[in-house]
Chains A and B, each alone.
Chain A
Amino acid sequence: MPEATTNSRTTRAGQHRYVAPLEETPLQSVDAVSKESDGSSLWKDAFRSLIREPLFIISALLILLIAVVVALPALFTSADPTFCTLDNSLADPRAGHPLGFNQQGCDIYARVIYGARASVMVGAFTTIAVVILGGIVGAIAGFYGGWLDALLSRIIDIFFAIPFILAAIVLLQLFRGSISAWHIVAVLAAFGWTQIARITRGAVISTKNSDFVTASTAVGATPLKNLIRHVLPNSIAPVIVTATVSLGIYIVAEATLSYLGLGLPTSIVSWGADIASAQTLLRTNPEALFFPAAALAVTVLSFIMMGDAVRDALDPKARTR
């Protein structure tokens, strides 16, 4: 490129040596973000990769289906799950009763459909309670640090060290005979919040020293405003992932308590109680155990898969591959 070379050799007034000419590119086209293009964020990127992920699509569709079953069970069956007569005890499937009957003569299919509500509601409300309680404690411990962190961390250690299912059994003795769904939610949350608290604390600690928080402090934001406006929104990702997975785990925990005889009262249709009562029939009528157990496993699986897919999408290390 001879012309370019000669052109750039031209010296300006007052210059004795060669100086490269100024960059002619207008600043806007380099630094400015075009207003037409969509902004990008962690969540937008994650969502873009999620909608191409089969695992996420399958789990999302399943959760949607489960939500419909929970909200409107009557759409899926016209049989009454609490209508049980011993005439039907262990009867074979017939028209209108596709899965047959259990020992008490209740329609298994109807009980599987109506049992979804109790199990999923306990899981969902426990998760909400755990996220609120654990989130607040973890955020305060991580953000303020110092003696407050030391104190809260020891309290978390104490609750964490007691085996979860054991604490639930002891606490539920207090309500023995009159256990309601709210008791189970309260007991599961009382000993389940520590995991979320630890994760929130870790995430808040790693976020609070970011440059954008320092910048916000520099323009006069109070610590509380920093915490709510800047630190928490940027620490929420791992909490959401853990919460999604633990929703499934709490459904399992509720069923386990039912097995131990400390679950929901028999007047409420629930998978846990149905599985536990079908235990003795395993040899002759495995379907009485299989269907509620399968429904529970598929529900739990959808939430775990969803959490897994979201975790992968939010992890920049996993995304490059």
Chain B
Amino acid sequence: MNRTIRHLSLVTLAAAAVLVPSAAALAADATGCSGSVVSMTADGAKLDAATAPGAGGTADNPLKLDPGGTVAWTGSSTTAITGGTWSVSALGVTLLSGDAANTEKKTSADGTTDLSTIPALKVLLSGSTKIPVSGTITGTGGSCTASGYVAGTGSLTSAPLFWIGSVLALLGLLLGVSVLTGTKAVATTAAVTSGGAAS
């Protein structure tokens, strides 16, 4: 498959997975492109699905992903985007990026992406964490921009962020207790002085 079209479809994947923030609770949205995605577990069982524009991939109903699984996607752009670049990012971290030559000037594609090839997802999608994802492809002939939410499906105890959060919260509580127990009445210099003079 044309590499550029694959990249376009990955952006469309993000479009299917996410929403424009202002419409996050309504439906998946995308500008300049459309598509759908079906997420599957590492065992190949269907996990979730979303379309953009359409249902799924919202903050209230994020697209569930198995970081070790795959996603089957279809996508299309309103115009053939050639000679550009593409990227998919989450929390300001670029997960995937590349050039988008698209010399064949295709406007649609489909395929499957192995999420296990994106190590950052294993950390970001631990537990039930839901994260905003955005994707863009820009080049000659147009552009495609999308954003929305995806969520993890792993167990809490397997999530590093769970343990980090627990330790930090416990440390904060202990410090809070020490603030309570450490607040004591002390004699001022004047009190000590007057006390000394009296004696």
Verify that A and B bind, or say they do not.
no
Which residues of B are interface residues toward A (Cβ below 8 A)?
Answer: none
